[in-house]
């Protein structure tokens, strides 16, 4: 007796929703104080919102481009690590896509920067000059409030050919303790009149003189990144002028609070000074 077996295939037609998928990448999880953390986000859809939380601050994420080959949108952020901020930390990446909020935590280890100390003797430090410094820094802070899309291309270039005489993060003591602070940039010695280049593309937001910083230039590179050029002899640019990487913006001098001809070069990210060498 032969038995016949019948197999039934049931096909269910269900609505299908394509869910947004993303992944993140950090260039490092171990960084020194005054360093930077580069974050990239890749998504198969345009994100509704994204931000990064670190050191109790929130930082915006910027759209970079769309990768046609991999069919994904690319976003990035450069996160500053302040001086005197060390130990085990947490970086939080916050994403909103398809009206759904998600968070991803990254463990960050911030190591101490061994920059040393330096004693500087100058007759230009006094109560009045310190008050002038406070006023000048408030003015400079206001110039960094505008946040625009990125105009730069990595890497940055060293703005002057010379010898680095003072590193970022050095603990400076002026006139046996009249003033103390950690160096917020790097000092590059060069002969007076040596050309100074823009470290990257950007818009001039400051080109003026103060008694402390001397003749100076400030460039907005976008994405919260600003570069500073202090103690210049001559300035060749003006406010709102767009400059390209390697354009000559002035010459080395010793104006302001300086003990000799040099360029003080500084980079701030969202007003936080970081080591310029991280961008080279």
Mean pLDDT of the 30-58 span: 97
H or E element that contains 248: strand 248-252
% of the chain exceeding 90 in pLDDT: 80
- The reported pTM is 0.89
Residues facing 92 on adjacent strands: 53, 105
How big is the CA angle at 150 (ends 145 and 155), to the nearest 5 degrees? 115
Its sign, for the CA torsion 31, 37, 42, 45, is: positive
Query: What is the topology classification, in CATH, of domain 22-111?
Result: Immunoglobulin-like (2.60.40)
Q: How does pLDDT run across 127-162, given as a tens digit for each residue?
A: 777 788 899 999 999 999 999 999 999 999 999 999
Phi and psi of 132, rounded to 5°? -65, -40
The pair of structure tokens assigned to 166 is 């003072």
Of 37-46, 99-108, 172-181, 204-213, where does mean pLDDT reach its minimum?
A: 172-181
* pLDDT value of residue 37: 98
Pairing mode, if any, of strands 242-243 and 272-274? Answer: unpaired
Q: Residue 156 gets which letter from DSSP?
A: P
Q: Decide: 103 and 94 in contact? Cβ < 8 Å.
A: yes
**Whether pLDDT at 216 is above 70:** yes
Which ranges of 114-210 would DSSP assign to H, the alpha helix? 127-143
Domain edges within the chain: 22-111, 117-279
* pLDDT value of residue 126: 72
* pLDDT value of residue 129: 75
Q: Residue 279 gets which letter from DSSP?
A: G
CATH of domain 117-279: 2.70.70.10
């Amino acid at each position: 007796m032969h038995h016949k077996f019948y197999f039934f295939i049931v096909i269910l037609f269900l609505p299908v929703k394509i869910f947004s998928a993303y992944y993140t990448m950090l260039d490092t999880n171990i960084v020194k104080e005054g360093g930077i953390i580069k974050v990239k986000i890749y998504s198969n859809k345009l994100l509704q919102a994204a931000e990064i939380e670190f050191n109790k601050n929130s930082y915006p994420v910027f759209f970079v481009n769309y990768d046609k080959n991999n069919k994904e949108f690319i976003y990035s952020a450069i996160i500053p690590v302040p001086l005197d901020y060390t130990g085990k930390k947490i970086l939080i990446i916050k994403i909103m896509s398809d009206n759904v909020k998600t968070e991803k935590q990254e463990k960050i280890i911030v190591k101490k920067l061994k920059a040393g100390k330096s004693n500087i003797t100058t007759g230009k430090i006094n109560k009045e000059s310190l008050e002038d410094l406070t006023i000048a820094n408030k003015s400079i802070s206001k110039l960094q409030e505008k946040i625009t899309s990125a105009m730069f291309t990595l890497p940055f270039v060293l703005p002057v050919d010379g010898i680095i005489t003072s590193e970022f993060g050095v603990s400076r003591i002026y006139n046996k303790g009249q003033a103390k602070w950690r160096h917020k940039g790097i000092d590059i010695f060069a002969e007076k009149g040596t050309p100074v280049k823009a470290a990257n593309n950007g818009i001039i937001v400051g080109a003026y003189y103060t008694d402390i910083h001397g003749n100076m230039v400030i460039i907005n590179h976008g994405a919260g990144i600003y570069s500073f050029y202090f103690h210049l002899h001559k300035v060749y640019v003006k406010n709102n002028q767009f400059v390209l990487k390697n354009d000559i913006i002035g010459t080395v001098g010793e104006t302001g609070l300086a003990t000799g001809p040099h360029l003080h070069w500084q980079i701030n990210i969202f007003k936080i000074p970081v080591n310029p060498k991280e961008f080279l």
